[in-house]
Amino acid sequence: MELTNTFTLTFLVTTFIFLLPTILSNTLPKSTPFKRMLALVQQEPVILKYHNGPLLKGNVTVSFHWYGHFTPTQRSIIIDFIQSLNSSSATHQHRHPPSSSAFSWWQTTATYRGGPCTLTVGDQTLDDNYSLGKSIKTTQLISLASKSKTTSNTNNIHVLLTDSDVEVEDFCMNQCGTHLPGRVEKERTVYAWVGNPVSQCPGECAWPFHQPLYGPQSPPLVAPNGDVGVDGMVISLATVLAGAVTNPFSNGYYQGVESAPLEAVSACTGIFGKGAYPGYPGNVLVDNTTGASFNAVGVNGRKFLLPAMWDPLTSTCKALV
């Protein structure tokens, strides 16, 4: 019986991974999702090929549409994360080495073709009345994300963040977040979405701050900002933003097929520190007072746990610690 169950699980997982590109290719418009639980699957060596398309470089504005009831504290965690990626925010280092700054993590994107990309926070809109209800289709993501207003759509990322009580199609099943290309008044732009997984799939999209749904059941790490859902969102947002600037229109840097690519961070899923292996995030820093795990320090004393990013200079997944 044990052998049969093992075979059945292996067959189901193998079948799902085999069919995943087909499932995702039927989603319009074409998006770039990722599922963090693939951290438990040993992946092939990472080589991201450049497909000759444009990347987002220079000054890029990130605008937010908050869908649902996000508290001021939750919003500040996300905004502090974006501001921590700005070079002007890199002077906060006191007790930690410069290599453990959120800014140094984002600097890896500068090693991709075209030079550095600086993110700044744009307009924010609040939609705590759930204008489209609490069940959102994939085709509605762009409509909601585009509600974040900006003066120009050039070099812009419109981000939609959904609260924990909002069900988004394929959330937890196939993706923790996604980015996808679009157009506004004939100008190319990029949209992105990340959901709060705390009540729907913390074992998949809030790992390693929650025990995984499958694999080794090691004790979860303590979330650096005390919010398992939002700290998990930071990891997903970091993954999506890195993919958005290095593969914004599905012809930048990626490995695999265009409909289900492995990108700058999603190709390094599950790695947060040295010694990482499937199911174990690696050796990271621990706050002596709170016991929280982190590997990056940002503005306002914020601490974050950021995933490894593929470095084109070394062709390796680069972790901060």
pLDDT at res. 317? 96
Give a yes or no: residue 124 inside a domain: yes
**What does the pLDDT look like over 240-251, one tens digit per residue?**
999 999 999 999
pLDDT at res. 46? 85
Lowest mean pLDDT among 98-102, 149-153, 291-295: 149-153
Q: How confident is the model at residue 182 (pLDDT cuts 50, 70, 90)?
A: confident
pLDDT at res. 88? 56
In degrees to the nearest 10, what's the CA dihedral of 239, 271, 16, 190? 10
Give a yes or no: residue 163 inside a domain: yes
pLDDT at res. 72? 98
Q: How confident is the model at residue 67 (pLDDT cuts 50, 70, 90)?
A: very high
Q: 279-283: long-range contacts (C-beta < 8 A, 24 or more apart)? A: 279/39, 279/40, 279/212, 279/215, 279/216, 279/218, 280/216, 280/218, 281/39, 281/208, 281/221, 281/305, 282/319, 282/321, 283/321
Give a yes or no: residue 69 inside a domain: yes
pLDDT at res. 215? 79
Give a yes or no: residue 193 inside a domain: yes
> What's the domain count of the chain?
1
**What does the pLDDT look like over 261-290, one tens digit per residue?**
999 999 999 999 999 998 899 999 999 999
Give a yes or no: residue 65 inside a domain: yes
Instruction: Give the domain range for residue 197.
Output: 50-318
pLDDT at res. 150? 62
pLDDT at res. 19? 40
**What does the pLDDT look like over 186-197, one tens digit per residue?**
788 999 999 999
Confidence check: pLDDT of 145 > 60: yes
Give a yes or no: residue 107 inside a domain: yes
Confidence check: pLDDT of 134 > 50: yes
pTM: 0.85
Give a yes or no: residue 40 inside a domain: no
Give a yes or no: residue 18 inside a domain: no
